[in-house]
Amino acid sequence: MKHMTGLLFFLALLWWVLSGYTTPLLISLGIVSVLFAAFLAYRMDVVDEESHPLHLSVKLIRYWLYLLWQIVISNIKMVKIILSPNPDIDPRIVSVQIRQSSQLGKVVLGNSVTLTPGTVTLKIEDSRIEVHALNQESAQGVEQGTFDERVPARVEDQS
Amino acid sequence: MDILQLFSAVLLGLGAVLGVVGAIGILRFPDFYTRMHAAGITDTLCTGFFIGGLMLQFGMTLATVKLLLIFMFMLFTCPTSTHALAKAARKGGLKPWSKSDTGSGAQNEGRAT
């Protein structure tokens, strides 16, 4: 029920932000389409913690800010590597043990690793992540597991 | 000149520079996997600067919120497509280039994609 209310709220907000209409007719049409979309989601049985991690909202925003900062840092490193006359490229594939046990946590971690330039997630299996790293420095970043510690889904594990 | 306009111009310029740097990286790097890292710049910070600059142009309007939403969707979809590419290359048997390989060998493997 909590997730349904959240879904309806976000759909309505999204509808209004994307359209910007305020006339009664269009708003009532918007309400109808929001209800219909929510009904479809309900029928598909996808209204749950995974599609709608309400319990993580605040932590997720904090994590995003941290992630954005990491993206900026690794971007600067990448620009330096690309523009240096003798680029420090020593690609390697590393396999690292991860702490995430929930599906959501693994997806968030894998995407975060791919999103930072210099590392790309190749495979996530049970509790290991396989990463292609551009050089030793970026590989170390994954091996130290700073993302792994910060992914908020880890705290609220559900199978 | 308005200070916001100036900021916006700086952000848009930085975004453009980063786009070019990403392209140079794609040309300079030895194989498919390493090129993917270079493309990561255009996926993330380049887009971020562009959208930031455009948001300053629009000010406090609905368009700004829409731009923010676009940026969020980019952050969700870009890594997914990059991962799909990497996984497909791996499954297709493309061997990652390593430092011990000679330059020409990497070229040939890169062409195998």
- What was the ipTM of the complex prediction? 0.78
- pLDDT, averaged across chain B: 84
Helix (H) or strand (E) holding A69: helix A57-83
Across A45-49, B5-9, B10-14, least confident range = A45-49
Single pTM value for the model: 0.79
Does the pLDDT of residue B17 top 90, yes or no?
yes
- Rounded CA separation A108/A147 (Å): 10
pLDDT of A20 reads 83
Give contacts of B65 with chain A, Cβ < 8 Å. 17
Please report the sign of the dihedral spanned by the C-alpha atoms of residue B23, residue B29, residue B32, residue B37.
negative
Nearest Cα of chain A lies from the Cα of B11 at a distance, in angstroms, of 14
Residue B107 identity (one-letter amino acid): Q
Tell me how many degrees the CA angle A98-A99-A101 measures, rounded to the nearest 5: 110
Do residues A153 and A100 make contact, with C-beta atoms less than 8 angstroms apart?
yes
3-state secondary structure of A25: helix
pLDDT tens for residues A109-155? 888 888 888 888 888 888 888 888 888 888 888 888 778 878 776 54
Per-residue pLDDT, B102: 58
pLDDT at residue A157 in the model:
46
Least CA distance to B89: which residue of chain A?
A122
**Using a CB-CB distance cutoff of 8 angstroms, which residues of chain A are in contact with residue B41?**
75, 78-79, 82, 117
Q: How large is the average pLDDT for residues A35-64?
A: 82
Residue of B nearest to A21 (CA): B62
List the single residue in A with minimal CA-CA distance to B77.
A111
Across the interface, of A75, A89, A111, the residue whose CB is closest to B34 is A89
- Asked if A83 and B24 come within 8 Å (Cβ–Cβ), the reply is yes
3-class state of residue B98 by DSSP: coil
- The DSSP bridge partners found for residue A123 are A130
Task: Tell me if A119 and B75 make a contact (CB, 8 A cut-off).
Answer: no
Domain ranges within chain B, ordered by starting residue = 3-90
**Domain edges within chain A:** 2-43, 54-154
